[in-house]
Structure 1
Amino acid sequence: MGQAGNRWAVVMLLCVLSLLATTALASSRDLESGWEYRWGDSPRLADGTPAWIQPGKDEAWHAIGFPSNPPHREGRHHAWFRVTLPEGDWRDPVLYVYSIDLIAEAYLDGKRIYRHGAFDTAGEGRFAGWPWHMIPLPTDAAGHQLYFRVYSNYTDIGLWGEIKLMERADLLGYILKHSASAMVVSPLCLLLALLAGIFAVIQANRRSFAAIALFGLAAGTMILAESQASQLLLDAPLLWDFLAAGGYYTLPIALGLLLEHWFAKTRPRLIRRIWQAHLAYLVAALGAAGLGWIDLAITFPVFDALLVASLALLMAAIAPRLHRLEGRQRAILATFALFGALLLADMAVAHGLLPWTRIPVSVGALVFALAIVVISLLDYAHTQRDLKRLNQRLEAEVSARTQQLQTLVERLETYSYTDPLTGLHNRRYFDELLQHEARQAQREFTPLALAMIDIDHFKRVNDRHGHEAGDRVLAGVATILNDHFRDADVVCRLGGEEFVVLLPGADADTARNRLETLMTQLAGRVYWHGERMLGPVTISCGIAVYPTHSTSPMALAGLADRALYAAKQGGRARVAVYA
């Protein structure tokens, strides 16, 4: 396992941490309206920038509901899309795109900010995979136009799936949330493949277990490769697409071997020809794509058509004999019908025949694989004792994994409200606490003070001594803040060098006195980073109190921020109460 295993563990832990710490999932913005498009590729200006990203009215742009597959394509391979980014308060914004057909560049304010794939001098390029995309944006990007240059010789052209504006830190949690089932099902399918492969070696009738092993390997590989979390494990989208294609194209081969075994007395020759045809296509398609003769992308529509035809032939061959089948064989057909229906639905979404949505193909794969295993075990009654022990082992492993995940969840629920650098509560905790204290202050008619605190000239510390030294100062100030305020007061770090203190029951004078005392304590403190002395540092403070300054406690943060600004304008190292 080695480095690969360690990387997998680290990625999974970071994903779980991100999932539990994320707060902006609810505040993410869907960018599924306001888009415009135009066909063709932009000419270049003298400095090499595309002419179409210049400001000004251009009648060639047309409105489109979603930036994908504009009308009247007529064999064209180039298209441009643009949208005006919405207003919002973002700290580290990114644009999340589920997928792009096929390669693209993104431009903002006249500059290229993102590229997927490589464009040649003709504005064309080869398929570079279907990853999800995270496009960093500046914090002041609201109201600016974002442009996409897209090239595709595939059946689709443009952006695909979903497009969201969100915080960078929250994207990992979003990816993990939608990859959770795949991250569970894929290892289970691969484990089933391993166990079935072992039984294929030790059992007299190896063919059935070999087919089960092949199906488990194909399904597990496909589900893992198509999971968005795989990109966190290894940023190699084209490799993952080759693995996904290999697993996807192998499924009908494994299915054909299974059905040929189970329906040996019906139409074995037709079933054999079907899986042999798929084997030939697997070798030809992946071989040609691997040698660079064709793009891997174009092999998917051809396979989809072949798969639809194969499924129809299989069902036609089996349906007239359903009444002759045993209950276990009918169960296989039922689970296969579920899995096949999910595959067809996913295929229809991919080709735009159904609205975009996430199809739980992994669930169908798991149900079908488990059904095959159970029925195969029943067919070998003389090994029932050994196979029962095997099932118990599987159940124990699933239970152990579930328990481990539950333990992680319980531990990380605490981390999701804690700033890892200072140990103070974070913004998420503050937002929820402010709502609670606001309701209590209004209900009990008691004052509530809120103080915004900012370390003066903190950027100088980072510039002169480095970010590690800056972190040492932040941690030291946080310790003093935490020790200074009483138990009823709550100190949180909002981000950067900014802190907030919530003082239930305190009026303006009380809050001012506590903060002035705090400033005295800070004035006598220095901080060390290695052999360098840092500080002392000073702070500026702004105070707002309910109901003195506002009839709404939820407005205190904004008022205290104004007071903080006044303190900084007044020379820093002072406390200002909102006037």
Structure 2
Amino acid sequence: MRTLLFSLLAPLLLALLMVAPACAGPAPLALDEGWEYRWGDSPFQDDGTPAWVGDATSQSEWQPIAFPSNPPGRGDNRHAWFRITLPAGEWRDPVLYIYSVDLITQAWLEDELIYQYGHFDARGEGRFAGWPWHMISLPEDFAGQTLYFRVFSDYTDIGLWGEVKLMERIDLLHYILERSAGELVVSAFLLLLALLAFIFAIVQGDRRSFFGIGLFALAAGSMLLAETQASQLLVDIPLLWDYLAAIGYYTLPVAMGLMLEHWFAAQGPTLLRRIWQLHLGYLVLAPGLALAGVIDLSSTFPTFDVLLLVTLLVMFTTIAVHLGTLNAEQKLIVTSYGLFALLLLIDMAVAHGLLPWRRVPVSAAALVFALAIVTITLWHYRHTQRELHRLNLSLEKQVAERTRALEEMVEKLQAYSYQDALTGLYNRRYFDELLQHEAAVARRHGTPLTLAMVDIDHFKQFNDHEGHEAGDTVLVGMGRVLTHHFRDADVVCRMGGEEFVIIMPGATAAIAEARLSELLEVLSHKRFRYRDRVLGPLSISCGIATFPEHAGDPLTLIGLADKALYSAKNRGRARVEIYA
């Protein structure tokens, strides 16, 4: 219930702390001297208080130590006690701040239990409960009293770790937020970068590389967020954050291995593949066993640290051997990862006591990695925009060219659909549509409309005698004569074979007869040529029908003109007949 309430109030608390001024009380006091330690666990008296608290007879058992962590001569010891006499000061709301504890602890102010983290069983042992920072409330009269810490740890380290400071509560919360702000920003930036990289992995072609970058950014961002002290103010479940940190930490070599395997694909990187697969197995197995209660999560870190050290050695040896095959972008990513890995190793050395405690700026290296990725992404974006602009121009040009070609094709198709292939005159299809139009105009305006049917006399015999090629030449020539002879308003069409029809809007039967009679005269002197030969004379027969003189419906003119044509044929050919 306390955890739930704190989680609900955490955002409001954070907002207030960001705007509230720091307390003007005493400056934080680092408790870095006056400590003593004692191996083992104190027996407890009948009233529940530890026997070692205030026991004057066992003072010789306490040994001085510079900082209450990892006393000498540990051996198989898993219990240790530490104590310090608290100094005086003008404190209004004093608290003791501890960066972390390995692994569970009780705090006794003289013979009063004032704080406990983790559960101690009857043997004084307990399971790992996470690595949170601790804020221990102190009474106003704490000055001069002895503060004892009972610690159990089956981990590689034992005791208090990092920092121990005496300070005002409000100052501590400001302290936590100030030191977490940068890490929160970097972690949020990395998580956003991971999202973008995964999106690129879906839509871009280089999926393996983008997926590796996204996985690395997600792992680093999750690890930084989980290890940021302010996360405990958001959700006060330390073990949850430690699991998230472990998963992020264990994922880093998997992500880098995927990227390197993809980049060195031409070299057949079997070893790199085996390494990231090994880490993937550890990523699944270690937290899984911890969740199942088989092992403590804390015990999975030392093994992974050794594995990571070997992995980094193999990875960077491979990179050094094949450095020449990497492009500039990949070298930038590798360099930023190298800085990140270096700070991880320093942080690892600090965690295992190989180096003095200090805050290692892992988030700064993560930010360098993120900025490297962003730089590459922006360059890719700029390059992509240029390519898209070039492709758009090319596409627009191609579309314009295709459109022009299509329009020309449509025009040609329309022409072919209305044009006689041999003579170039309009065909029967065009005639039918035009007659519908002209008939409607003639009816609407009451103007005359004349059709003249023209047929070449004895054309079959001519074809049999001269040949079909010569016949085609005559048809082409006849089409030209007809086109030149009639008015621009008149339309000459080839109906098929040797038969032609002329639509003459506004012309009477008499006008049409006069024009056709002139045509007969012209043709009597016309000689068509085929190759080097002059062909014999040809004549035509003509039939005329006019609206409204011969028909009440213009659409019936074609049948009437055809009857007039047959009449001309029957009466000796080479003549013009008007429908009667």
Taking the aligned partners of 1:246 and 1:385, their CA distance within structure 2 comes to: 40
- Show the counterpart of 1:492: none
Is the CA contact (8 Å cut-off) linking 2:6 and 2:236 kept in structure 1? no
2:296 is the alignment partner of 1:260 = no
Which is further off, 200-209 or 275-284?
200-209
Distance 1:302 1:227, change over 3 A: same
CA distance in 2, matches of 1:386, 1:15: 49
Name the SS for the 1:52 alignment partner: coil
Give the structure 2 partner of residue 226 of structure 1: 227
Query: What is the aligned partner in structure 2 of residue 173 from structure 1?
Result: 174
Instruction: Report how far residue 32 of structure 1 moved.
Output: 0.9
Q: Superposition pairs for residues 418-457 of structure 1, below 5 Å?
A: none
Deviation at 1:385, TM superposition (A): 6.3
Q: Residue type of the partner of 1:14?
A: L
Q: Does 1:150 align with 2:160?
A: no
Q: 1:308 to 1:386 in 2, by over 3 A?
A: farther
CA contact (8 A) 1:212 1:373 kept: no
Task: State how many pairs are aligned.
Answer: 384
Provide the secondary structure at the position in 1 that maps to 2:150: strand
SS in structure 2 at match of 1:79: strand
Distance 1:211 1:377, change over 3 A: farther
Q: In the alignment, is the contact (CA less than 8 A) between 1:117 and 1:127 conserved in 2?
A: yes
Question: Following TM superposition, by how much is the alpha carbon of 1:367 offset from its aligned partner in structure 2, in angstroms?
Answer: 1.2
Q: 1:12 deviation in Å?
A: 3.2
CA shift, 1:321, in A, is 2.4
Q: Rate the CA distance shift 1:34–1:6 in 2: closer, same or farther, 3 A.
A: closer
Q: Which residue of 2 aligns with 1:247?
A: 248
1:14 aligns with 2:50: no
Bigger drift between 269-278 and 71-80 goes to: 269-278
Secondary structure of 1:329 counterpart: helix
Q: Structure 2 CA distance, aligned partners of 1:364 and 1:236?
A: 27
1:109-149, Cα deviation, whole Å (9 max, x unpaired):
31100000000001000000000000000111011000000
Work out the CA distance in 2 between the residues paired with 1:378 and 1:245.
33
Q: TM-score, normalised by structure 1?
A: 0.63
> Structure 2 CA distance, aligned partners of 1:210 and 1:4?
37
> CA separation in 1, counterparts of 2:387 and 2:228?
34
The DSSP-based 3-state class of the residue aligned with 1:21 is coil
Contact 2:7 2:233 in 1 (8 A): no
For residues 63-82 of structure 1, the aligned pairs below 5 Å read: 63-82=64-83
C-alpha contact 2:187 2:221 (8 A) present in aligned 1:
yes
User: Whole-Å Cα distance in 1 between the matches of residues 290 and 320 of structure 2?
Assistant: 36
Alpha-carbon displacement from aligned partner over 1:28-78 (angstroms, at most 9, x marks no partner): 110011000000000111212100012525111000010000111011100
- CA shift digits 1:468-517 (9 cap, x unpaired): xxxxxxxxxxxxxxxxxxxxxxxxxxxxxxxxxxxxxxxxxxxxxxxxxx
Q: Is the 2:11–2:234 Cα contact (8 Å) retained in structure 1?
A: no
What's 2:326 paired with?
Answer: 325
Aligned match of 1:30: 30
1 CA distance for matches of 2:51 and 2:276?
52
* Distance in 2 of aligned mates of 1:181 and 1:60: 44
RMSD of aligned residue pairs (Cα, Å): 2.2
Alpha-carbon distance in structure 1 between the residues aligned to 2:326 and 2:236: 47
CA distance in 2, matches of 1:323, 1:178: 40
- 2:356 matched to which residue of 1? 355
User: Residue type matched to 1:123 in 2?
Assistant: G
Q: Is contact 1:215-1:369 (8 Å) kept?
A: no
Q: Which has the larger radius of gyration?
A: 2
1:48 maps to which residue? 48
CA–CA distance in 2 between the matches of 1:132 and 1:79? 19
AA of the residue aligned to 1:13 = A
- Equivalent residue of 2:375, what SS? helix
Q: Give the CA deviation at 1:387.
A: 11
In structure 2, C-alpha distance between the alignment counterparts of 1:225 and 1:30, rounded to whole Å: 25
Structure 1 pair 182–386 and aligned structure 2 pair: CA distance change class (3 A): farther
Contact 1:225–1:240 (CA under 8 A) maintained in structure 2: yes
Task: Kindly indicate whether the alpha-carbon contact (under 8 Å) linking 1:101 and 1:130 is maintained by their aligned counterparts in 2.
Answer: yes
Q: 1:16–1:315: structure 2 CA closer, same or farther, 3 Å change rule?
A: same
For residues 327 and 205 of structure 1, what CA distance do their matches in structure 2 show?
Answer: 16
Give the percent of matched residue pairs that are identical in Structure 1 and Structure 2. Answer: 60
In the alignment, structure 1 residue 299 sits paired with structure 2 residue 305: no
| Counterpart amino acid of residue 42 in structure 1 | S
Q: Aligned partners of 2:203, 2:384: CA distance in 1, in Å?
A: 11
| SS of structure 1 residue aligned to 2:67 | coil
Counterpart for residue 272 of structure 1: 273
**Aligned mates of 2:145, 2:158 — CA distance in 1:** 24
- Partner SS state of residue 113, structure 2: strand
Q: Is the 8 A contact 1:332 1:371 kept in 2?
A: yes
Shift of 1:300: 0.6
Distance in 2 (alpha carbons) for counterparts of 1:7 and 1:260: 46
- Counterpart code for 2:45: L
Whether contact under 8 Å (1:189, 1:219) holds in the other structure is: yes
Q: What CA distance in whole angstroms lies between the structure 1 residues aligned with 2:317 and 2:168? A: 51
How far does residue 193 in structure 1 lie from its aligned partner after superposition? 0.9
Q: Deviation string for 1:385-408 (max 9, x for gaps)?
A: 6999xxxxxxxxxxxxxxxxxxxx
Unaligned runs of 5+ in 2: 390-580
User: Does residue 129 of structure 1 match 2:130?
Assistant: yes
Cα-to-partner distance string for 1:64-116 (whole Å, 9 max, x where unaligned): 01000011101110000000001111111100000000000000131100000
In the alignment, residue 207 of structure 1 is paired with which amino acid?
R
- d(CA) in 2 for partners of 1:7, 1:111: 30
Q: Structure 1: 5+ residue runs without aligned partners?
A: 389-579
